Every structure is written in C-alpha cells, then in structure tokens.
Structure 1
Amino acid sequence: MAALLLPLTILSLVTAGIVAVHNVSISLLDSAVARGAVCLDGTPPAYAYSPGFGDGVDNWHVFLQGGGWCHNVDNCLDRTRDPKGSSAKLMTEQNGVVSFGGMLDANSTLNPDFYNWHVFKIFYCDGSSLMSDVEDVDPKHNLTYRGARIYDAMMDELLRIGMGNAKNALLSGTSAGGLATTLHCDKFQSLFHNTTKVKCVSDSGFFVHGEHFMGADWREAYFFSVISTHGLTNMLPTSCTSKFSSTLCLFPENLVPDIQTPLFLIESAFDKYQISNNVFSPSDASPRWINCTSNLIFCNWSEIKIMKDTHS
C-alpha cells in the first residue's frame, strides 16, 4: 500500500495545481573542490537542506534537479553563463535561497507523506545527469566535466550529516534529474544497511529511444553527442553496456530492466518536452508541428498518431 501511495500522492498534488512552498538557504559544498567535484565552470557544487522533524527524523529524501544536457563544447560553455553550469550564477540569480514545494514541501496538508522528512536538493551544474568524470580540464574553454564526482561528494556529505542511519530513504529527480535517479538508483541503495527501505522516483525522466518510431535516429545521435562530450562511455552501467551500445544505455528503456531497487516511473501521456524536442531535430521541426505541440487543437490526425506512437 505504501508503494502505491507514492505515485498517487504526487499525481494528486500535480492535478490539483497546488503550489505551496517554503524557502531554504542554498549552500556550497566547498569541501568538494579538493576532490575535483565541481561544476562545468569549476565552481563548487550547491545544495539546499531542510532538516527532518517529528516522526520524520529518520527519513531522508534526496532530490536531483533537472535541466537537460549539454551535447558539445559550445553548448556546455553556454551553460557556464547560467545556473545550469555555475553555482556562482545560481547564488546570484536565486539570492542564496530556493523555494521547496510539492514533494519537498514541509506542509502536512499538501505533502502528507513526506512533509517532515529530511530534504536535500542537489543543484544540477554538470550537464551530464551527474555521470561525467573526466580528469583533464578543457584547456581552451576551462570546462570541467565532473558530474559523477559531484554525486559522490554529495552522498558523502549526506552520510556525514546522518543519512546512513535512515529508516526510509528516497532518491528522486525530474527530467535530466529523473534520468540521473534511474542511473544512480542501485548505487544509492548501496549506501544503506539492509534494514533501510530505499526507493527511487524518476519524474518525467523516461526519455524514449523508440527505435521503430519517428525521430529514433535523431534521438540516438543526440545522446551519442552527450556521451562523447562528457566521456560517458565507461561510466554507464555495465549491466546495460554488456548488451547495448553506450549510446543506447542513456535511454531508460534499456536501463530499467536491470535495476534492483524499487523504482517508480512518472511520465505524462503527453510530454511536451519530449514531443517538441525529441521527435524532430531542431532543424527539422516545422512551424506546423511547433503550433501543434503548443496547442493540441492545431494537431492533425497524423501528428496525434506520432505522439501516441512515441508514448505507447
């Protein structure tokens, strides 16, 4: 029953359109710099932590922020100019504070299952779903690809402040953070004793390859460029790369069957991001298709069929 409550709670809050938040200070993990666990621009990674209370003091929720990927040097360089690649930009734009809502909220009415848990949000600044670990810094652009080190440094910090004694632990994320959740789910589980109940939730992170559907070649080429840029070939789960190419092992459909930890997948029947960005390459998308994804009233029968096929 508890397993069923998790997705139902999330969906009910989203459906109701409830927005309630509390503000939490953003912190920099300066100790991560010595181990090379830094953002694309070399700044220390950032997190926001809200301690648990009441009967939630033994429960932990770790949330991985999303934000797509950078797939070439120029694209990654662009990200260093905003919070998706620089914690310095994050602190400036957010004024050192982030609002927690939804599953992160401390309001018992709006978030009855998780309101009093420890909440630890990891900000996304590496562009690789926390998977890259390239030793050399790009000498021309001063770019650092170290997402996996950021993940490890954050987990060490969580264990330092007490997460290892959790009775319940949840790893979740949205979009690219949802993919990161899928990729790290079993690794997250390995941090705990056998007595800890560990689960993962990937929200809007099931990016479809769909080799028999429109756009499969484009989607595969895009993820290939992400892997090449971030040096991910040897960083992906061997349970997948032993059967598929590394490119295909960024697609959850090829990852999920081998994950041992309970994993909940939340995906909209109409994922506008995937339909708008992953069916066609940006250069091929027609104005007609763009109008369709902006308002379903403008879709014809063939466009509706493409959307249904992609999410079937």
Structure 2
Amino acid sequence: MAINIQTAVDHWLRLLVCLVISMTIHASANLNNVNITILQSAVAKGAVCLDGSPPAYYHAKGFGEGANNWFLELQGGGWCNTEEKCLYRTTQSTGSSKYKEKNITFGQIDSQNQTENPDFYNWNRVYIGYCDCSSYLGNLESNTNITRRGARIFDAIIEDLLAKGMSNAENAILAGDSAGGLGAILHCDRFSQEVLPNAKRVKCLTDSGFFIHAKHLPGADKRAEYFANVTAYHGIHADSLPSSCTSRMNASLCLFPENIIGDMKTPLFLVESAFDEYQLTHNFFSNESTWTNCTSNLEVCTPSQLQTMKDYGIASRQTLQEISDTTSVGMFVHSCYRHGHFYEHAGWDQSTLLAGKTIAQAIGDWFYDRSFFQEIDYDNELPLFRNCSKFTSCSHETNLYA
C-alpha cells in the first residue's frame, strides 16, 4: 500500500510540475502577445501606407526599472521601386495596415521573458509595422493611387510615442531587421540627436540590414541601379540622408551602409552573417532556383557556385572590417547562411557563439558598456558558410521580397 501511495504522490507531483510549466509558458506567451495600434491621426499628416491606410505599430509597456527605457524595432520587408511592384504590395501587409496581424508575439530581442532577454525584458517594446517599402525614407507628393510616405510614417509614429512617455526615456535603442535595419541605420543619428537628445544612453541596432555594394564583384552596377530606382520612385531626398555621404556621392549610394557608417555619431551594433541568405540569393546567385540544392548541401555545388559564395564572403567581411576601426561600432558577424535573428531561437541562443558569447549577451554587454564587442568569424577552415541551424523567417510577415 505504501508503494502505491508513493507512486500516486509521484504521479500527482509530476502532473503539478507539468501544470506549472504549462501555465508559465502560457503566461509568457500572453505577456509577449501584443495588440496592434492603428494610428488614425497620421492620415491627416499624409503619413500613410502605400494604399493610403494609416500606419500601425505594436507597443508593450515597460515596467519596474525598465519603465522609462524604450526599444523600438522597425519591421523589414524589402523594397518596391516600380508602380507595378508597389501596387502589388498594396494587397499585402508590407504595403497596407489592413492586412497587418491584429496581435503579434514578440521575438527574442523584445521578449518579456527575462531568461531569454535579460537586459531589455522590462523595457517599453515597440514593433513598428512596415508598409511603405522604402526603409521608412520615402516622401513624395503623388497623384497616383500609391502613396510613398515612409519618412512621414516614421515621424508620425515617433511623435505618438513621445506623447505616450518616450519623451522621458532614460535609455533607448532604435533597431530594425532587414530593410527595417537599413532604416534604423539611416534614421539613427537623428533619433539620438533630435528625438531623444536628453536621454542618458541612446544606441542603434541592425539585424541583417547591412546591404553591401561590393563594387568589385559582378553585378555592382545592377545593385546600385536598384537602390537608385528605389530612391527616385519613393522621392528619397538628399536632405533625409546623412550629408556626410550625400556631399561625396549620389544620394542613392548612401543607401549602402558601407558609405555612411564611418561618419555616424551614434553607437551602432551590427548583427550580420558573412553569408547573408537574402543578399546571396537575390543579388549574387544568377538563378535562385538552381541554388536550392547547393545551399542545402555544399557537396553538390558546382565550382562556380562555390566561388561565388567564397567571393561574397570575402567581400562582406572586408567591407565590415573597413568600418570596424571605430570603437563606436559593435558587431557580431558569424558565418551561418541566414538572414535575420531576432525572431528565431536558431541564431539567438547557444547555437551561434562568437568569443564565447551569444548574440543576446554581446548586445547587452555592448549597450550597457560592460564590455565592447566586435567579432567577425574568420575561423572557418574554408571560406564558406557553416552548417548552422536553419530557420524560416526574420519577421512576422510573409511575401517580404516581391
């Protein structure tokens, strides 16, 4: 009988532990599940998405010691640079708030789970929806059915957040992923110097937003032409880009971070792959479909495919190395074949380490000045990407790169 009682007690204890774990996970999910805010007041200011709908964001309030700290993340989603492509985006979440999710679960970088996100879990966390396809830079008066007002969207949302308490920010980070990461770089100095000039500490962070020109690699003119078309179509004015760059070269070339980061005043941290999946697939591989097998298994790659990857890896590392001389730029540059890190455990946790640190540890130490972090992975025996954990996406949305 004693054995049976003990067995029953053990059984119920196991059930209780499972219940507590389940409730903890559910509570964490609820804490990170954030409702959408549609900014109707922005319409009167002309700050609207491609389809004319109002912009949107998701805000989880800070608490405790993080109540006056703010983490803003700009959603990515590529660009469009023609009437046809932008018209297509008006039927997608990257061109209209009508198709945005009503609520989202925040990713690792803005999770409210202290174990997962120890340095920023109790901050105000804001995820700004992408619906302009210009990296939050466009500002064009247009008579067409497509409104190109990315810069106005950024300003309108910032103004709304200032009114909701961000004006009292003690610490703040402007971050972004992919095209949003590029937007974070280009808005960074103005954010720190004009939006929050009195904050104790303001820094910027980009996830897979370092799009390289790679002037010495094939297709450089095509890459430059693409950004030139984005600049022209969306009315990205020189005065909305760093003058330190536009005074030296065409404004469209100032969309390549390598041309502006050296002159930035605000500390910036880069989370990048030396073998960025998006850039290789869309800018360097001649035929995307023929590379699927190769990137899944290096042993079936042709010599020319391997050479393309090697050349790109060398160029991306060299480009990043050139801007690493300044101590205001931190970086975590690994060799995994991926694009995006903030919304997948793969690459955020122990699966990706540099100098013994995870991405989360490196960012936290850099932001709070506990230790400077600037690491580029050169440890590969071959100049090819490592066989790292795969993941699906860097964002909530689909159809990011039309």
Structure 2 length as normaliser, TM-score?
A: 0.68
> Which residue does the alignment assign to 2:158?
155
> CA–CA distance in 2 between the matches of 1:27 and 1:48?
6
**What displacement does 1:136 show?**
2.4
> Which residue does the alignment assign to 1:75?
85
Q: Could you say what secondary structure the match of 1:275 adopts?
A: helix
| Conservation of the 8 A alpha-carbon contact between 1:84 and 1:125 | yes
Gaps in structure 1 of 5+ consecutive residues: 1-19
Which AA in structure 2 matches 1:298?
A: V
Q: Does 1:31 align with 2:41?
A: yes
- Determine which of 235, 255, 259 is the counterpart of 2:260: 255
Compare CA radii of gyration and give the structure with the larger one. 2
> Which residue does the alignment assign to 2:130?
124
| Conservation of the 8 A alpha-carbon contact between 2:50 and 2:95 | yes
Residues 118, 74 of structure 1: CA spacing in aligned structure 2 closer, same or farther, 3 A cutoff? same
**What displacement does 1:308 show?**
2.9
> CA–CA distance in 2 between the matches of 1:240 and 1:295?
40
Q: Does 1:47 align with 2:57?
A: yes
1:46-98 CA distances to partner (integer Å, 9 max, x unpaired)?
000000011111210001000000011100000000100000121xxx2x111
> Which residue does the alignment assign to 1:58?
68
**What displacement does 1:294 show?**
4.6
1:137-178 CA distances to partner (integer Å, 9 max, x unpaired)?
41xxx1000000000001101110111211110010000000
Q: Does 1:170 align with 2:173?
A: yes
**What displacement does 1:233 show?**
4.1
1:111-151 CA distances to partner (integer Å, 9 max, x unpaired)?
1111000001110000100001112241xxx1000000000
The equivalences for 1:1-312 within 5 A come to 21=29, 22-90=32-100, 94=101, 96-138=102-144, 142-190=145-193, 191-234=195-238, 235-280=240-285, 284-285=286-287, 287-310=289-312, 311-312=316-317
> CA–CA distance in 2 between the matches of 1:218 and 1:241?
20
| Conservation of the 8 A alpha-carbon contact between 2:172 and 2:199 | no
Residues 55, 236 of structure 1: CA spacing in aligned structure 2 closer, same or farther, 3 A cutoff? same
Q: Could you say what secondary structure the match of 1:55 adopts?
A: helix
**What displacement does 1:40 show?**
0.2
**What displacement does 1:306 show?**
2.1
Cα RMSD over matched residues? 1.6
Residues 256, 194 of structure 1: CA spacing in aligned structure 2 closer, same or farther, 3 A cutoff? same
**What displacement does 1:292 show?**
2.4
| Conservation of the 8 A alpha-carbon contact between 1:272 and 1:293 | no
| Conservation of the 8 A alpha-carbon contact between 1:32 and 1:38 | yes
**What displacement does 1:246 show?**
1.7
Residues 244, 192 of structure 1: CA spacing in aligned structure 2 closer, same or farther, 3 A cutoff? same
> Which residue does the alignment assign to 2:348?
none
Most deviating of 104-113 and 212-221: 212-221
Larger relative contact order, structure 1 or 2 (CA cutoff 8 Å, min sep 6): 1
| Conservation of the 8 A alpha-carbon contact between 2:208 and 2:272 | yes
| Conservation of the 8 A alpha-carbon contact between 1:130 and 1:151 | yes
> CA–CA distance in 2 between the matches of 1:130 and 1:161?
21
> CA–CA distance in 2 between the matches of 1:296 and 1:228?
39
> CA–CA distance in 1 between the matches of 2:299 and 2:75?
32
> CA–CA distance in 2 between the matches of 1:217 and 1:297?
31
Which AA in structure 2 matches 1:72?
A: T
> CA–CA distance in 2 between the matches of 1:122 and 1:160?
16
Residues 272, 286 of structure 1: CA spacing in aligned structure 2 closer, same or farther, 3 A cutoff? closer
> CA–CA distance in 2 between the matches of 1:228 and 1:79?
18
Residues 226, 56 of structure 1: CA spacing in aligned structure 2 closer, same or farther, 3 A cutoff? same
**What displacement does 1:293 show?**
3.5
Structure 1 length as normaliser, TM-score?
A: 0.87
Q: Could you say what secondary structure the match of 2:167 adopts?
A: helix
| Conservation of the 8 A alpha-carbon contact between 2:282 and 2:288 | no
Gaps in structure 2 of 5+ consecutive residues: 1-27, 318-402
| Conservation of the 8 A alpha-carbon contact between 1:183 and 1:237 | yes
Residues 231, 161 of structure 1: CA spacing in aligned structure 2 closer, same or farther, 3 A cutoff? same
Which AA in structure 2 matches 1:162?
A: G
**What displacement does 1:290 show?**
4.5
Q: Could you say what secondary structure the match of 1:40 adopts?
A: coil
> CA–CA distance in 1 between the matches of 2:77 and 2:126?
17
Most deviating of 81-90 and 224-233: 224-233
